[in-house]
Every structure is written in C-alpha cells, then in structure tokens.
Amino acid sequence: MPFLELTLPCTEAQQTRYERALEDVGALAVTLADAHADAPDEQAIFEPGVGEMPLWNELTLTALFEEGTPPELLLHALSAIDEGLDWSRASFRDVADQDWERAWMDQYEPLQFGRRTWIVPWNHELPPGADAPDAAVVRLDPGLAFGSGTHPTTALCLQWLDTLADEGLLQGKRVLDFGCGSGILALAALKLGAAQAIGVDNDPQALLATADNAERNGVADRLVAHAPEAEPADTYPVVVANILASALVSLADTLAARVAPGGRIAMSGILAGQEDEVIARYAKDFESLQADRQEDWMRVTGVRRP
C-alpha cells in the first residue's frame, strides 16, 4: 500500500527526541541518513571508526505513516508532544509501496577489481569474465551495511587483495578485516584463496550483513565476525582496515599488534592529504609504506617489521 512520507532535518543532539515523538504519533518506520552524504569529508563516510557511534552531526530523518494520514493534524500532534522541536521544516509526499533496498539493488551492476575479483549482486547474472575458471566472484547483498564496492576506499582494498593473490601472498592465509561493513573484503579474500577470515565491526547490522553474505557465498564456515570487544587478540599475515584516518591513527598500536612479522596491511578510508599522518604513525612498525590514490581517497600499504 502507499504511505505518507515525512522528511525533516535535525541534529545528532535532537535525533532521539524527534524519533521518540514520531513513534508516539504512530510512525511505521523511522530512518536516518547523513544530511551531507555527498560531501567529501569524514562525516559523509558510512563506516565509523571501531568503537564510535555511527551517527553524523547533521541528519535527515524520514518517517513513514499510513496512507491518508492528514499532514496538518500530524504536525499538530507532533507539536503537542514536544513543543521544543521545530516541526516547521517538515516536508511531506506520498510514496508507493516498494522495497527500497531491492529497488536500489536492481540498479547495482557487477564490478571488476584487479585481474579476477568480481562483486556481483546476488540476483544478477554473471557478466562475461566473471565466469572464468579463476574468477573470484563475491555475491553480495549490501542492503544492511556499507560496502558494495562502489566507494573508492573499498575499491582500493579490493584491488590490493587481488594483487596479493596474484603474487601468491594470500593463498591459504588467515585474513583480518577490521571494520568489515558488509564483509565484502573478507569475502573477496576467501574467494581469492585465503583459508579463513575474521571480521570486526562495531555496528550490529554490519555483523548481521557479514554473516548473511558469508552464507550466501558458501563460506560461512570460514568467516567469523565479531564486535570489537569480542575480537580474539591474534596475529594475521594479512590485515585490511577500511575505516577512518582518525581511527587508523588512534588504533595504530592495536592494528600493528594484529599483523604478524612480515605480514601485509592495507588501510583505507583516508582522504587525500591525510596519508602522511597515517604513514608517520605506522612507520615504526612497518616498512615499504606506500600510498596510492583513487579520486579523493588514499590507500596506505606496508609490511610488518620483524
């Protein structure tokens, strides 16, 4: 059935009050989005640093109500519930009944990274090249969490994993995906020949998405996802961390301790201009540090010192 959609801007500090009021007047669903999702800054990144709340300073809040709900009466009821909030900026529109995530997925095309890594929607036919005998195909449903391969930070990490596999540095190895999101990097590593992957993320939805995508790809027995507090303190020959530059800097000692001597690390979520700080922070523990760029984003890679 159709719905009445209410949209309004709010701040992180006000979000809880707005959401509570909307639920009190019968909202069927309330969702949040970054008000500046197209801006190239850290507030527009959908994967926060591990241990940080996945919220932004300025939000766009959307609520759905039953068809036929009078907007004027709805605003009156909301104002009566919480007079301290500004409801005058609310806008309304009628929307058809549809599965918004699935509609987005219908427009999501297969993508190739490196020589043989492919990210293909679970409901899409394999394109030419993805059916090659040595193709590493990840069937992905990114609806629950960030990580579809379309963002440059994810693309940079996928390309790195593909190169590692070509160099024989991934086969049979254990991989840590720190800030796993949808699990895309861990899944790609497994499809490229890794023996086992561990995912870590602070977002419960990311853990669910990773588990769902692992099951969909037939690797649920080789991919385990943990919240940060449950992560086993272990070392890995391959570590990839697609989070924020600020988190990479603050977690340098933690991440360095996760990389086995001689092991490889790739870090992304770094805006151009931030790579020098990241390199400086990791220089004492890693050699052969290198920065690579795609659009406005950087990837820093290195080898753990003995």
In the annotated binding site for S-adenosyl-L-methionine, the residues are 154, 179, 201, 242
CA-to-CA dists, residue 115 to 162, 169, 192, 233, angstroms: 7, 15, 11, 33
In the annotated binding site, the residues are 154, 179, 201, 242
Count the alpha carbons within 13 Å of 19 in the hemisphere toward its beta carbon: 14
Asked if 171 and 282 sit in the same domain, the reply is yes
Question: For residue 67, what are the domain limits?
Answer: 3-97
Asked if 77 and 118 sit in the same domain, the reply is no
Asked if 144 and 221 sit in the same domain, the reply is yes
Asked if 93 and 222 sit in the same domain, the reply is no
Asked if 86 and 12 sit in the same domain, the reply is yes
* CATH number (domain holding residue 29): 3.30.70.120
Asked if 133 and 62 sit in the same domain, the reply is no
| Domain-embedded: residue 102 | no
- Count of domains observed in the chain: 2
| Domain-embedded: residue 105 | no
Q: Give dist(CA 262, CA 264) in Å, integer.
A: 7
Last residue of a domain, one of 65, 97, 129: 97
pLDDT in the model for residue 75: 94
| Domain-embedded: residue 104 | no
pLDDT in the model for residue 19: 87
* CATH number (domain holding residue 272): 3.40.50.150
Asked if 87 and 139 sit in the same domain, the reply is no
Asked if 84 and 18 sit in the same domain, the reply is yes
pLDDT in the model for residue 293: 96
Query: CB burial class (10 A; 0-12, 13-18, 19+) of residue 122?
Result: middle
Q: What is the arrangement of strands in the sheet containing 136-140, beginning at the earlier edge strand?
A: 111-113, 117-121, 136-140
Extract the tokens encoding 125: 């036919």
| Domain-embedded: residue 106 | no
pLDDT in the model for residue 8: 92
pLDDT in the model for residue 67: 86
The structure's pTM equals 0.69
| Domain-embedded: residue 210 | yes
Asked if 197 and 90 sit in the same domain, the reply is no
pLDDT in the model for residue 104: 47
Asked if 92 and 116 sit in the same domain, the reply is no
Asked if 146 and 10 sit in the same domain, the reply is no
For residue 219, which phi and psi values (nearest 5 degrees)?
-125, 25
Last residue of a domain, one of 70, 97, 124: 97
Last residue of a domain, one of 62, 97, 132: 97
pLDDT in the model for residue 60: 84
| Domain-embedded: residue 103 | no
Asked if 75 and 36 sit in the same domain, the reply is yes
Q: Give dist(CA 147, CA 149) in Å, integer.
A: 6
Q: Give dist(CA 179, CA 187) in Å, integer.
A: 13
Count the alpha carbons within 13 Å of 127 in the hemisphere toward its beta carbon: 13
- The DSSP bridge partners found for residue 102 are none
Q: Give dist(CA 200, CA 177) in Å, integer.
A: 6
Angle at 305 between CA 290 and CA 302, to 5 degrees: 20
Beta strands in 2-141, from DSSP E residues, in sequence order:
3-11, 29-34, 58-66, 91-95, 111-113, 117-121, 136-140
Judge contact between 187 and 37, C-beta under 8 A. no
Series of mean pLDDT values for 10-residue runs along the chain (306 residues): 86 85 87 58 36 57 88 94 92 74 58 93 86 93 51 91 98 96 94 98 85 93 95 95 92 97 96 95 98 94 96
pLDDT in the model for residue 190: 98
pLDDT in the model for residue 83: 87
| Domain-embedded: residue 224 | yes
| Domain-embedded: residue 51 | yes
